[in-house]
Amino acid sequence: MKILLDTHTVLWMVNGYEKLSSSAKELLLNDEHELFISVVSLWEMAIKASLGRLSELDGGVDVVISKLASMPIEVLPITTDCIKTIESLPFIHRDPFDRMLVATAVSSNMTILTADSNIPKYSASCVW
């Protein structure tokens, strides 16, 4: 399965897995799955850290980028397919980062690993 990690999933993973559900941990540790993070999540973390709203990220987004470099996780760019998909998404909620993650998952046929109750309301496949 191709799994796109939601921003909070990445943060919880980098900080030691404690906040992740047992099924989420299993998915992350299963070598049969391909793991991805969108550059959008890194962007969101950087913005929140600069605003002082990411206290659990000691050291800023640099820490996440360094830890991701040693993990089997591919960082995905924003593609034109994602942008085209955004245009057709319903306005379930207005969080632009979540909407881009949904568009990435839909356009790339991925499943989003998320605890966010809004994400499953879209047409994207989700697990937690």
Distance CA 24, CA 30 (A): 10
Nearest 5°: the CA angle 33, 37, 42 is: 160
Residues 9-53 have pLDDT tens digits of 999 988 887 899 999 999 999 999 999 999 999 999 999 999 988
> Rounded to two decimals, what is the model's pTM?
0.93
Residues 84-104 have pLDDT tens digits of 999 999 999 889 999 999 999
Residues 78-87 have pLDDT tens digits of 999 999 999 9
Distance CA 63, CA 119 (A): 26
Contacts 24+ apart (CB under 8 A), 25-31: 27/1, 27/3, 27/113, 27/127, 28/3, 28/113, 31/72
Complete domains list, the chain, with CATH: 2-127 (3.40.50.1010)
Rg of the chain in Å (alpha carbons):
14
Distance CA 66, CA 59 (A): 11
First and final CA of the chain: distance in angstroms? 14
**Is the Cα torsion angle 95, 44, 100, 123 positive or negative in sign?**
negative
